[in-house]
Chains A and B, each alone.
Chain A
Amino acid sequence: MVTSLLEQDIAKLIVQTLKLKVDPATIQSEAALFGDGLGLDSIDALELSLAISQTYGYQLKSSDPEIKAIFSSLRALAKAIEKNRTK
């Protein structure tokens, strides 16, 4: 599947925020962000949540039953941001 513009922006935000040594364009929409994929951890999740809140006005919550799904891939994260963004 083709990567959407929002997905590309979020990929850039992830790489910039977390200073990853990858080209944002190579992050697959469906690949895992945490654990085996990009290998992110809970501190990354916290940093990323701040960047998402500042950029899109969407505050992530771990009590959200969907939180695991939201962080499962770039595509899922983009969908959640699309739905909840306030800026």
Chain B
Amino acid sequence: MHDTPLIGPYNPDDVLAWEQGGPRTARQFLADVSRLVESLPDRPTVLNLATSRYEFLVGFAAAILRRQVTLLPQSRAPQTLRRVAGDYPDSYGLTDRDDTIEGIESVSIQPLRGRTAWPREIPRVPLNQLVAIAFTSGSTGQPMPNKKTWGALTAVAHATGARLGIKGGDRAAVVATVPHQHMFGLEASVMLPVMHGLVMHAGRPLFPADIRSALADVTGQRILVTTPLHLRACVTEGVRVPSGGLILSATAPLSRSLAQEAERHFQTKVHEIFGFAEAGSVAERRTVDGERWRPLDGVRVVQDEASWMVHAEYLPAPVPVPDRITVDAQGTFVVHGREADQVNVAGHRVSLGDLNQKLLEIDGVQDGVFFLPEEGSDLVTRLMAFVVAPRKTSEEIQRALRTHIDPVFLPRPLVCVPSLPRNETGKLPREAVSELARRWLERQGHGA
């Protein structure tokens, strides 16, 4: 089998997505795609910035059928978008609102209304076709491209569905709080439902009340694709998921106690996915059952000379795991934390080296370092930064940083200091920064 259908088992009038305006059937979806295919410019790469998950999917599918590659930047920060567009100069943008990105030509996605014909056959896509590039933050400040083939995305969707017991024709509905432009969002909230003939909610609910109403929009069993952050918010606010569905969490480790609380509260199972943009989803666990991750079918985690590598048929080469892990004889593993340079803030992974680099590029900044304090009791532990910039205020530096990095990584706080505790070789040991942070927090009265 060298190619597979663009969508899974749908009858023409099955609902494929639930939009603000109501349901979109598989028939309407294929018509929306084939119309957009006609109007796309002849370019190799596209930045799909659609805010609606459905319209993102229409754009993604149309690009695939035109053999164009969808670029998935780490954030929507204008500087990041321009940088990616600069690296892929023949790119154009796809938007579903009147959004425009300065300096990038954009096409708008407008779904058709009214009745449309079912095509004689569902379009097919070659498994080896490159369909997306997901960017991750590299330690040099340059975003690193990770290439995704149609085969990789569909294999992960089928392996995840199989592990969770999702069957084609279940007609369950997927509601997701995660962005569809991120790797986990693309896999779990777009590819997973579409490959299994499920209903996909087009919204991206943020507040607990939004999640409650998105869950009420759809019928049947619900699959809530989310993060520990949103799950905590839903439990706190007493949001109910109709029982019988399931919750799928990723992007940051979920604590056993929150998983237990969520299972009790929602009367449903809470599963977690372990993955990272370079490899996609790798393993799964039901959090209340224990800390061990079980690799998805077809995935093996194998020790190389220096590190653990993910092997899968759909990966062109083995991919190193960015975490410290220990693997047992059955191949299941425990995750102990990020490798030194990598940190995770609210589910977004970034290299501290990359952030430091961007800080040092700001006019007037002589020295500076980002630091992630120990996790506290807050929903999210934010980064802090210490900066040496005698002629600048911390507000000025924050403003400059905002155009360069994802807002989630903006330091809280950014502290201006006369100098950093560098040692005689010019290195800045983590312990020294940690001590600086501890002293600063103590003075602020936040410390222990």
Contact = CB atoms under 8 A, between A and B. Distances in A.
A83 B408 CA distance: 31
Given A19-B378, A19-B446, A21-B413, A43 B213 contact: no
B346 A50 contact: no
Interface stretch (B64-72, B131-139, B184-192, B230-238): B230-238
Contacts of A62: 205-207, 210
A38 B10 CA distance: 47
Contacts of A60: 207, 209
B379 interface: yes
A43 B408 contact: yes
Contacts of A46: 206-207, 229-230, 233, 379
Which of B205, B206, B207, B208 is most buried by chain A, counting CB atoms within 10 A of its CB?
A: B207
Interface of B: 205-210, 213, 229-230, 233, 236-237, 346, 378-380, 382, 398-399, 402, 407-408, 410, 412-413, 444, 446
A15 B205 CA distance: 25
B213 A42 contact: no
21 contacts: A19-B378, A19-B382, A19-B412, A21-B413, A39-B398, A41-B407, A41-B408, A43-B380, A46-B206, A46-B207, A46-B230, A47-B378, A50-B236, A50-B379, A54-B236, A59-B237, A60-B209, A61-B207, A62-B206, A63-B210, A63-B213
Contacts of A19: 378, 382, 412, 446
A50 B206 contact: no
Contacts of A39: 398, 402, 407, 410
Nearest to A19: B412
Given A46-B233, A46-B379, A47-B379, A36 B209 contact: no
B383 to A, nearest CB: 12
A50 B233 contact: yes
A2 to B, nearest CB: 25
A80 interface: no
Contacts of B444: 21
A50 B399 CA distance: 27
B237 A45 contact: no
B399 A36 contact: yes
B208 A43 contact: no
Interface residues of A, number: 21
A59 B213 contact: no
Nearest to B414: A21
Interface of A: 18-21, 36, 39, 41-43, 45-47, 49-50, 53-54, 59-63
B410 A43 contact: no
B236 to A, nearest CB: 6
Contacts of B378: 19, 47
Nearest to B407: A41
Contacts of A21: 412-413, 444
Given A39-B402, A46-B206, A47-B379, A61 B446 contact: no
A49 B399 CA distance: 25
A61 B206 CA distance: 8
Contacts of A61: 207, 209-210, 213
A61 B229 CA distance: 17
Contacts of B408: 41, 43
Contacts of B410: 39, 41
Contacts of B402: 39
Given A36-B399, A41-B407, A47 B205 contact: no
B208 A59 contact: yes
A36 B399 CA distance: 7
A45 B398 contact: no
Q: A-B pairs with the 8 shortest C-beta distances?
A: A21-B413, A41-B407, A59-B209, A61-B209, A49-B207, A62-B210, A43-B346, A60-B207
B238 to A, nearest CB: 10
A46 B413 CA distance: 19
A50 B229 contact: no
A45 B109 CA distance: 28
Given A61-B207, A62-B206, 16 more contacts: A18-B412, A20-B412, A21-B413, A39-B410, A46-B206, A46-B207, A46-B233, A49-B233, A50-B208, A50-B233, A53-B237, A59-B209, A60-B209, A61-B210, A61-B213, A62-B205
Contacts of A20: 412-413
Nearest to A45: B206
A49 B378 CA distance: 14
Nearest to B382: A19
Contacts of A63: 210, 213
